[in-house]
Structure 1
Amino acid sequence: MNPAVSSGARARLDASVKAYDVRGIVGEALTDDVVEALGAAFADEVGAAGGRIVVGHDMRDSSPGFAAAFSRGATARGADVVAIGLCSTDETYFASGSLDAPAAMFTASHNPAAYNGIKFSRAGAQGISLETGLAAIRDRAGDYLDAGGVPPVASPGTVRELDVLADYAAHLRSLVDLAGIRPLKVVVDAGNGMGGLTVPAVLGDAAGLPSLPLEIVPLYFELDGTFPNHEANPLDPANLVDLQRAVVEHGADLGLAFDGDADRCFVVDERGEAVDPSAVAAIVALREIARVRALGEEQPTVIHNLITSRFVPEAVEAAGGIAVRTRVGHSLIKDRMAETGAVFGGEHSAHYYFRDFWSADNGMLAAMHLLAEFGSQQAPLSELAARFTPYALSGEINSTVEDVPAAYARIVEAFTGRADFDELDGLTVTGITAEDAPFWWFNVRPSNTEPLLRLNVEGEDAATMAAIRDEVLGLIRA
């Protein structure tokens, strides 16, 4: 191989490997040769020669071709590929867990159509980050690119196809019983992503399961990786507008929005107003705590990242659980779930993790828990959610900041003497307030990939939150 070509391929590889996954623009950072090298390197890293690797993909135009290239690399190194085809990311976790095999999912999640990527798992749906194997995969793939290709082993592996959708749907149904809830009308926005495949199977009868007392009103269920209606990123309020409108127009009880690979689920109430992911986390946490305590587990552990509402640990501890605060991050949360034996984990970004799902995240399973809780009582969702949202949250606010240390210094100077500081993840500042004064806290974290500072603020009431939010934004943007 021409050294200049090899150098360019390694540069593309380095640009696409992130902290927890692979992500890049198709045809630039991600090309077939890079993906094939990653397939070989992944097989080597997880010791898959003579064993199995699960490979799945989303509906993006480039995903089938990349899955095939990855499989070529993996089989060249002796791995037998179980190709599960079109699937959601949590379907690959199901396959990884139920087959006890490493897995690779081709998706760029909520990113625009020009992107693609890979989410890796070790056997049993265990996460892989830069610190736990992804850096080694990147470096080994780079060596293959430098050498001009992947050297095959003496006994290359094979590829066989396996459809896991029906088994996945049946497994989720076994974890949450929805048969006895009151009838609900639910608008679901799949955003032309993989929810268009999984929702009819899990919440409907497309996988041959019994019908549930749910009337599903579908929005954008057609699988289309060009995202012709809106980006499949429900974290951006602009992408919830169609769902909010449809819930009100149809007189629905609630709405659900899935991201592109359908591993995250966002909720809106009957008025079309967004339900904070922290409220969903608290609702699901209490259900899981109650379930396992009834089975004899005295103090179940629940993981929450440091951006979730203060109400989450308060509710967990009031219910007899142990709340464990962690940094933000998909693979990190999965590792902490395994370390602590936590029954559930919740993040502010609408990732929800379940011990009974190999400690992996599953937005569909979180939605089912919410439907079960909501459908077991008569109050509207706005009323139920309000009970789990007693405090005021700002949501995540991004600011372009070229000099992050200088912004930190301004914040520390301004709040010294009236707040405590910790650096578990970014900078968390917690107000020192009188006993009868409203509490507040905020966190600022730099982006891993852009010159941004991310701000999250919570206050005991809206006025307190707004005052702190505006003060901190003034310091960040000074």
Structure 2
Amino acid sequence: MRDPDKLDNLIKAYDIRGIVPGQLDDELAYQVGAAFAHHLGADLIAVGHDMRVSSPALAEAFAAGAASRGTDVLAIGLVSTDLLYFASGVGDVPGAMITASHNPPAYNGIKLCRAGAAPVGQDTGLTQIRALLENGLPEYDGELGQIGYQDLLPAYAAHLRGLVDLTASRRLKLVVDAGNGMAGRTAPVVLRHPAFEIVPLYFELDGTFPHHEANPMNPANLSDLKAAVRREGADAGLAFDGDADRCFFVDEAGEAVSPSAVIGLIATKELALHPGSAVIYNAITSRAVAELITENGGRPIRTRVGHSFIKQVMADNNAVFGGEHSGHYYFRDFWNADSGMLAALHVLESLGNTDQPLSALTGRYVRYVASGELNLTVSDIPGTLARIEANYTARGATADHLDGLTITHPGGAWFNLRPSNTEPLLRLNVEAPDAATMTQIRDAVISAVQAGDSRHERVDAAS
């Protein structure tokens, strides 16, 4: 049985994540594997892991735990998270991925899914698994499950390439920054195509991340990619996070492409093929996304941040596509799961079929000016949100609480303050029709947050 207080710091809204071995160790991974297998009663579970130093042992312990309850395990080895989703989807089996995504090297975690890559979060299984960890599993004296091994990378790569059409593509020169993460294994296989010339950056698998954090949402981690794109005269740059389920794009001038523009591009593309479909977007995505979905005959559906929530809304509405401003992109033809590599192929298909540069292609989908995500250290998060809401609504703005606090001004500018799940932070995103208005609102919100709080530290980019 596990201490409930320690589990509070480990079990998040949609995965299990903590420092190894202080919070997460092989013994706990074994127990989570056993609890997951018991909760589902599945005959077979697929288990994969990333390149972190602690990942192979945690994956082995998880698999042994699942087998201890009579469940067979398909161990698929070193994989990206979306390759684990592929295994779950194509095999119609539950899955477990040992990864801490973009977190620093000391961290690791476990992402779980049900058969068909269906999400597991607090409302879809994590609560029950936590209860089993706290109270202990019932006795089991049946046969042990068997553990087998299979490399699914070739099948995964073929599946992704089958979802796009690259036959008419012009040849593209691409710089790909794997950040020493799992894209270093998957990108060379998926992107092995006559349409692409690949310039690799940091493809060596190394869970200590010797060059930069594998978190492309932080602009500092795109510096090497931007410089390489300019140096190589490349058509585009791709940056993946540690488990390669997110992808960020850099254009031919070495400038970062807004993830909201990527959502607009792919949504428009998918709606042309599936008219009238629903498209999901989250609360911090540009308002241009909803406008573009509507203009292209789709049904825009706004949801909170987080993959387990979006996947469920995708399934409930049979949505063709979903996107988050954090670089997660979800596809109906990929079991509603997110795949940074599939998003890359969609963007590259569109780029290869036009003579325009990436900046012009994605520029069609940019209508407003955004601040990017800023982290504000706050000691009293509930009190700060209540104070900010009262301040702005008293002056005619509207508020909603779908995910944190979103304040919309009468002229259409908006900002969102969203609490971090793990740190005493409020994450601020601002969008306005022009740069001056965005800057004024951004600075006013930062001042208002800091004016009533004892901690004034500001971090300029989400980490």
Match of 2:118 in 1: 126
1:81-120 map, 5 Å: 81-120=73-112
1:258: which partner in 2? 240
Aligned partner of 1:420 in structure 2 is 398
1:393 aligns with 2:370: yes
Q: Secondary structure at the match of 1:464?
A: helix
How far 1:398 sits from its partner (Å)? 0.9
Paired residues of 2:100 and 2:110 also in contact (CA < 8 A)? yes
Distance 1:100 1:254 in 2: 35
Give 3-state SS (helix, strand or coil) of 1:275's partner. coil
Structure 1 residues 288-307: aligned runs within 5 Å: 288-293=270-275, 299-307=276-284
- Structural mapping, 1:44-59, within 5 Å: 44-48=38-42, 51-59=43-51
The alpha carbon displacement at 1:46 in A equals 1.2
Alignment partners' CA distance in 1, 2:352 and 2:30: 47
Deviations 1:407-463 (A, max 9, x none): 223323332232111111111111113xxxxx3011111112211111111101111
Name the residue aligned to 2:227: 245
1-structure distance, mates of 2:360, 2:76: 41
Structure 2 counterpart of 1:417, one-letter code: R
Q: 3-state SS of the aligned residue for 1:217?
A: strand
Is the partner of 2:29 in helix, strand or coil? helix
Are 1:37 and 1:142, in contact at CA under 8 Å, matched by a contact in 2?
no
Relative to structure 1, is the Cα distance of residues 115 and 405 closer, same or farther in structure 2, using a 3 angstrom cutoff? closer
Q: Secondary structure at the match of 1:175?
A: coil
* Deviation at residue 151 of structure 1 after TM alignment: 4.7
Match of 1:80 in 2: 72
Unaligned regions of 5+ residues in structure 2, if any?
452-463
The equivalent residue for 1:359 is: 336
The correspondence for 1:329, drawn from 306, 309, 312, is: 306
Structure 2 match to 1:430: 408
Contact 1:54–1:101 at 8 Å: present in 2 too?
A: yes
Is the 2:30–2:62 contact (alpha carbons within 8 Å) kept by the matching residues of 1? yes
2:29 maps to 1:35: yes
1:182 aligns with 2:141: no
Given the alignment of the two structures, is residue 339 of structure 1 paired with residue 316 of structure 2, yes or no?
Answer: yes
Aligned to 1:66: 58
Shift of 1:346: 0.4
**1:154 correspondence with 2:142:** yes
Residue matched to 2:419: 446
The partner residue of 1:371 within 348, 360, 363 is: 348
TM-score after normalising by structure 1: 0.92
CA distance in 2, matches of 1:13, 1:432: 43
* Separation in 2, partners of 1:7, 1:197: 36
- Partner of residue 296, structure 1: none
Give, in angstroms, the shift of residue 380 of structure 1. 1.2
In structure 2, C-alpha distance between the alignment counterparts of 1:153 and 1:238, rounded to whole Å: 53
RMSD: 1.4
Task: Work out the CA distance in 2 between the residues paired with 1:7 and 1:42.
Answer: 15
Could you tell me how far 1:11 is from its partner in structure 2?
5.0
Q: Corresponding residue for 1:471?
A: 444
How far did 1:399 drift?
Answer: 0.4
Q: CA deviation at 1:393?
A: 0.5
CA contact 1:459–1:465 (8 Å) conserved in 2:
yes
Q: Which runs of 5+ in 1 are unaligned?
A: 1-5, 205-210, 294-298, 434-438
CA contact 2:2–2:133 (8 Å) conserved in 1: no
1:374 to partner: Cα distance: 1.1
Q: Is the 8 A contact 1:13 1:30 kept in 2?
A: no
Residue-pair matches, total: 450
Task: Tell me which amino acid in the other structure corresponds to 2:325.
Answer: H
Other structure's SS at 2:162 match: helix
One-letter amino acid matched to 1:465: M
Q: Quick one: distance in 1 between partners of 2:6 and 2:196?
A: 46
Per-residue CA deviations over 1:351-389 (Å, capped at 9, x if unaligned) read 000000000000111110000111111111112222211
Please state whether the residue corresponding to 2:83 is helix, strand or coil. helix
Q: TM-score, normalised by structure 2?
A: 0.95
Q: Secondary structure at the match of 1:142?
A: helix
* CA-CA distance at 1:14 after TM superposition: 4.0
CA distance in 1 between counterparts of 2:60 and 2:29 reads 9
1:331 partner letter: S
Residue of structure 2 equivalent to 1:208? none
Counterpart amino acid of residue 99 in structure 1? G
Equivalent position to 2:183, from 195, 213, 216: 195
Q: Using the TM superposition, give the Cα deviation of residue 7 of structure 1 relative to its aligned residue in structure 2, in angstroms.
A: 5.6
- Secondary structure of the 2:47 match is strand
